[in-house]
Chain A
Amino acid sequence: MVRMIMRAVRHPWITVSVVLAVTALMAYVTVGGARIETDLDEYMPSDHPAFVYSDMAEDLFDIHDGVLIAIDSGGSIYDNETLGLIRDISTRLASDFEEIESGDVRSLYTAENIIGSEWGLEVRPFYDALPLSDAEPAALRAAVRANEMVAGRMVSDDESAALVVAEIPGDEYSDALYDRLVAWVDAFDSGAEIHIAGRPIVEGELARLGPADMARMAPLVIAVMAVVLLILLRSALHAAVNLLVVGAGTIWSFGLMTLSGIPVYAVSTMMPVMLIAIGTAFGIHLHNTAHLYARRYPDASRARIAEHAVRSMLRPVSMAAITTAVGFIALLTSQVLPVRYFGLFTAAGVLIEMVLALILVPAAIVAFGIGRAGRRESSPATSDESGTPGSRVAAVLAGRGVLTVTLVASVVALAAFGTSRVWIDTSFLSNFERDSDIVRTDRFVNDHFPGTSSLNIILEADRDNAFREPEVLSAVDRLQRSVAGHEEVGGSFSIADYMKRMHRVMHDDAEEYFAIPETRDLIAQYLLLYEMSGDPDNLNRVVDYDYRTANLTVQLKSDSSAIIEEVIATLDPHRADLDDLGLSVNFAGSGYKSYVFADLLLTGQMWSLLIAFAIVAVLLSVVFRDLVIGILGTVPIAITAVVNFGVMGLLGIPLSSATALISSIAIGIGVDYAIHFIEQFRRHAVIDGSGDLPGIVAAALAHSGRAIIFNAVAVAGGFAVLAFSLFPPNRQVGGLIALNMATSAAATLTVLPVLLMYYYRRSPVFQKQSYATEGASQ
């Protein structure tokens, strides 16, 4: 292996040319072929039963996410200008956009008013011809106020704003349509302010910001890493070589992704930052070793220095890379496809970086030497270990093991308490700044209308025509009233609303008839009447053709999965009742999918965490040929995981699609420190041979402590760049990973030595025999 690497290293220019050529090819492939996927449905595992049901119901009831266009008149909407605007927007949406059918646009202009008059029952538009005469606005206002199916839904309660909803079939929605819609709305020249909101718009904004964020983060992280590398390596040339390693690793993994036909998902936009921050660690360790060797043997040739670095670092660097990759590979257990791809291709990127680092870093040493820093005089501190920070730490740890463990235990206990407060929340809107246009628009629409998000409750009966039975409709009505009690619920809509409205209208608008009709025949006859006079497609949105399945739409003022969970819980008191009526309850719609998605994230998170732990423990056990060492090696990362969740709980950072990724990744990266430390501990135990444990710890700390801290600083620094991300959750990710690196490094340098000392003190067999055999074998 070393020989193979050295063969490549001895021809540095050829090697660099090949790497550059492949990188250029991959860059070409990526730029030419990469496709950005922003459809949030693509995140959902389509074969999951909840999603299969939801898709079925969405198809059955024509449930789509709507683009919400809110018209803020500033005064009253009942003037000719605003009414004209509502009409123009409603009609031109369908004529200007091929993707939008006129039947899918709903507004005060398109709404049908079911009214009773001395004349009888009428279903007719609220208004048609403009301008209205002087008396008409007042009549229109009265008509709207009297119709609870429109008042508060299409016109705000304070009458200052009106809503136009355009439902766009999922397969018709595209980034191009989003751009055209936003520009189209901007082009309306009027006194009123026009807001555009709704989930398709949120998706469109995400699509726009995702690549923008990547374009902003990638150069920033490169700049930060360049500075960090310059400081650590003290050589512009070697810093550049390391940047080439991480740059090529990033571009290759995107190239591989493109070649595999996998699109760039929102989560993939974090890949450059991750790969650049993580990948520099390999070079840092190689350089560190080369430096130490060059200091000890100032006359060694470049090739010798390079070969020594490769020979002694091949195992720890490849182990570190593999465990890091394992952290990402563990994400393959996720049911969320983009997360799986993210894990897979970031793992591939890490391994590519390892290979490139093992070739290019020694190649650069062969070509250019180690640089001035390497030839400096050794500092006295490193040759005399008694006065080093490492030995002081070792002394403290040896004497105060119990105190250390107690301290750590209390931190862990506090963190465990914090962990119990972690809440799961996936909200697409939380991806935006609180004062961004999209959040403010969302707030405006939520303040004036029932809500920008929705949950569809699908009630399915065991028989046809169940939703013509008064008992069933009454149960639906009770359900709606109960759900409306939740403060984030802005309204709900079902076949029961049609029945109540028709019943009242047919009784001269008498309030006591605003109820479900008493007999099945009357309900059937109202339905027949509605089918004969209204648009039957409207009924198809609330009940299926056989009156067996009904769709109850609940409008929500939040797209948070935690809120949806609460709303779903409000159904619990009704379940027995519904069961008696032969009704089963299911859910549909994008809001519900988000909720299920959040649940999947949590399960996925738990699994990938456990699997990462298990694989890392096995790897450590195999590499160090000791099961206990394998387990002890995972202690720092276990502490890291607990502290991570504890801090999330205590700071109120929710477990979201972004933050859920962190802990298994942090395990993969964080365990590297344990690997390096255990490696050095055992090396020095062999060299020492005396069994003087505090001395061995001091030596190991002196050797690896600095590299571990450098490594942690470099990785944490790279991730800290995410503080400048356009997406607030990515900032949390950056902060948490930086924290995890610090925790991992600290735990490795404190708890792990204590545990190792404790373990070896108790295992005389190992002290006396294994040291000797291992020493002989090396």
Chain B
Amino acid sequence: MRRLTGTKRLILMSAALALTATAAFAGELTGREVIEAVHDRPIAEDMHATVTMTLTDRRGSQRVREIEQYTLDTAEGERRLLFFTAPADVRDTSFMTWSYDDGRSDDQWIYLPALRRIRRISAEARHDSFMGSDFTYDDISGRHPDDDRHELLRRETHRGEDTYVVESVPRDGSAPFDRTVTWVIDGEWIGIRREYYDDRDRLYKVLEVEEYEQIDDVWVIPRMTMTDKQRDHSTTMEMRGIELNVGLSENIFSERTMQRGVR
């Protein structure tokens, strides 16, 4: 179990939001203290899960993708390997990302089985869509507490939980939103809802953490939905068969595995 540091990306998609308290806070916290508590939650070394990504457009049409996902936190940065298993015509398409803690841009590869070729693809900006979903890389990986100025707006009961409601305003102007508001469960330090507002202060996106559970000491989120309120488009990520700390080798994050699969 390690602490997350710097701008390093989290292994778990859920990591940005799910945290356990590392210290017993007494009394009222500041917005920044709440967000730091979320950020300082322990995470797993590695993970394997079956992910179902469901994209829904404003007419209710859906695109469903099934992905086997492997992630590993290394000394250098995060490794991520995805294998598409459905729909049939993209089966065995694989996607690998190496991100680096030292600020270098990511390396990404894609293997298209129909082309029998691995291509590197351009590095994603942190605010770009994650695999065509409503999540951005930023949403998946999490923002560092230093990236924003935080203010505690209020405490309220949300979905039956005692929550802190924190507003965060990005320090740089590159984000596609001007502020976010996050509901964090007191004591558990898991964010269960986040609202994003655009430069005209219109509601832009809403993240709902629909299921969260503790596996060993680590909080994971088996189901969450990001809704783009302006495009009326949403993405639900469901993780099943979550396995933590299974001892993945760094060697599997290779072009060879992309083509042959994990044995």
The number of residues on chain A lying at the interface, defined by a beta carbon within 8 Å of a beta carbon of chain B, is 31
Interface membership of chain B positions 78-90, coded 1 if the CB is closer than 8 angstroms to chain A and 0 otherwise: 0000001001011
**A529 with B61, Cβ < 8 A, contacts A123-B122, A521-B89, A524-B89 known:** no
Does A205 belong to the interface (CB within 8 Å)?
A: no
Cα-based distance from A122 to B125 in the complex (angstroms): 12
Does B153 belong to the interface (CB within 8 Å)?
A: no
Pair A122/B112 contact, Cβ less than 8 Å: no
Contacting residues of chain A (101-123) with chain B, CB-CB under 8 angstroms: 119-123
- Pick the contact of B61 from A119, A525, A545 — CB < 8 Å? A545
Pair A124/B93 contact, Cβ less than 8 Å: no
- Pick the contact of A545 from B57, B87, B119, B200 — CB < 8 Å? B57
**A525 with B122, Cβ < 8 A, contacts A531-B131, A532-B95, A532-B131 known:** no
Contacting residues, chain A, for B117 (C-beta < 8 A): 506
Contacting residues, chain B, for A468 (C-beta < 8 A): 89
Tell me the nearest residue of chain A to B87, going by C-beta. A524
Pair A521/B113 contact, Cβ less than 8 Å: yes
In the complex, how many angstroms separate the beta carbon of A445 from the nearest chain B beta carbon?
A: 30
Contacting residues, chain B, for A535 (C-beta < 8 A): 129
Contacting residues, chain B, for A544 (C-beta < 8 A): 61
- Pick the contact of A120 from B57, B93, B121 — CB < 8 Å? B121
- Pick the contact of A525 from B59, B93, B129 — CB < 8 Å? B93
Pair B115/A528 contact, Cβ less than 8 Å: no
Pair B87/A533 contact, Cβ less than 8 Å: no
Does A312 belong to the interface (CB within 8 Å)?
A: no
Does A170 belong to the interface (CB within 8 Å)?
A: no
Does A519 belong to the interface (CB within 8 Å)?
A: yes
Does B224 belong to the interface (CB within 8 Å)?
A: no
Pair A525/B132 contact, Cβ less than 8 Å: no
Interface membership of chain A positions 498-537, coded 1 if the CB is closer than 8 angstroms to chain B and 0 otherwise: 0000000010000000000101111111101101110111
- Pick the contact of B121 from A60, A122, A537 — CB < 8 Å? A122
Does B63 belong to the interface (CB within 8 Å)?
A: yes
Contacting residues, chain A, for B120 (C-beta < 8 A): 119-121
Contacting residues, chain A, for B112 (C-beta < 8 A): 506, 522, 525-526, 529
Pair B90/A525 contact, Cβ less than 8 Å: yes
- Pick the contact of A124 from B109, B114, B122 — CB < 8 Å? B122
Contacting residues, chain B, for A531 (C-beta < 8 A): 131-132
Contacting residues, chain B, for A532 (C-beta < 8 A): 95, 110, 121, 131-132
Contacting residues, chain A, for B93 (C-beta < 8 A): 525, 528
Tell me the nearest residue of chain B to A539, going by C-beta. B132
Does B256 belong to the interface (CB within 8 Å)?
A: no
Interface membership of chain B positions 126-138, coded 1 if the CB is closer than 8 angstroms to chain A and 0 otherwise: 0001011000000
Cα-based distance from A517 to B115 in the complex (angstroms): 10
Pair B122/A121 contact, Cβ less than 8 Å: yes
Does B149 belong to the interface (CB within 8 Å)?
A: no
In the complex, how many angstroms separate the beta carbon of A60 from the nearest chain B beta carbon?
A: 8
Pair B114/A529 contact, Cβ less than 8 Å: no
Tell me the nearest residue of chain A to B109, going by C-beta. A120
Interface membership of chain A positions 533-570, coded 1 if the CB is closer than 8 angstroms to chain B and 0 otherwise: 10111001000111000000000000000000000000
Does B229 belong to the interface (CB within 8 Å)?
A: no
Contacting residues, chain B, for A519 (C-beta < 8 A): 114
Cα-based distance from A519 to B59 in the complex (angstroms): 29
**A533 with B122, Cβ < 8 A, contacts A519-B114, A522-B115 known:** yes
Contacting residues, chain A, for B63 (C-beta < 8 A): 545
Does B231 belong to the interface (CB within 8 Å)?
A: yes
- Pick the contact of B115 from A525, A540, A546 — CB < 8 Å? A525
Pair B114/A522 contact, Cβ less than 8 Å: yes
Pair A536/B129 contact, Cβ less than 8 Å: yes
Tell me the nearest residue of chain A to B89, going by C-beta. A524
Does A98 belong to the interface (CB within 8 Å)?
A: yes
Contacting residues, chain B, for A533 (C-beta < 8 A): 121-122, 124
Contacting residues of chain A (579-608) with chain B, CB-CB under 8 angstroms: none
Tell me the nearest residue of chain B to A518, going by C-beta. B114
Cα-based distance from A540 to B228 in the complex (angstroms): 15
In the complex, how many angstroms separate the beta carbon of A114 from the nearest chain B beta carbon?
A: 10
Tell me the nearest residue of chain B to A531, going by C-beta. B132
In the complex, how many angstroms separate the beta carbon of A518 from the nearest chain B beta carbon?
A: 9
Tell me the nearest residue of chain B to A535, going by C-beta. B129
Cα-based distance from A521 to B231 in the complex (angstroms): 29
In the complex, how many angstroms separate the beta carbon of A414 from the nearest chain B beta carbon?
A: 57
Contacting residues, chain B, for A124 (C-beta < 8 A): 122
Pair A525/B121 contact, Cβ less than 8 Å: no
Pair A524/B115 contact, Cβ less than 8 Å: no
Contacting residues of chain A (133-160) with chain B, CB-CB under 8 angstroms: none
Contacting residues of chain B (41-71) with chain A, CB-CB under 8 angstroms: 57, 59, 61-63
In the complex, how many angstroms separate the beta carbon of B202 from the nearest chain A beta carbon?
A: 11
Cα-based distance from A373 to B57 in the complex (angstroms): 80
In the complex, how many angstroms separate the beta carbon of A253 from the nearest chain B beta carbon?
A: 44
Tell me the nearest residue of chain B to A525, going by C-beta. B112
Contacting residues of chain A (196-225) with chain B, CB-CB under 8 angstroms: none
- Pick the contact of A524 from B90, B124, B132 — CB < 8 Å? B90
Contacting residues, chain B, for A528 (C-beta < 8 A): 84, 90, 93, 132
Pair A529/B110 contact, Cβ less than 8 Å: yes
19 contacting pairs across A/B (C-beta < 8 A): A119-B120, A119-B122, A120-B109, A120-B119, A120-B121, A120-B122, A121-B120, A121-B121, A124-B122, A506-B119, A521-B90, A522-B115, A528-B93, A529-B110, A529-B112, A531-B131, A532-B121, A533-B124, A546-B61
Interface residue ranges, B against A (CB under 8 Å): 57, 59, 61-63, 84, 87, 89-90, 93, 95, 109-110, 112-115, 117, 119-122, 124, 129, 131-132, 200, 231
Pick the 6 closest A-B CB pairs, nearest first. Answer: A120-B120, A531-B132, A524-B89, A522-B114, A545-B61, A122-B122
Known: A124-B122, A522-B112, A535-B129. 5 other contacts (CB 8 A): A521-B90, A525-B93, A528-B84, A533-B122, A536-B129
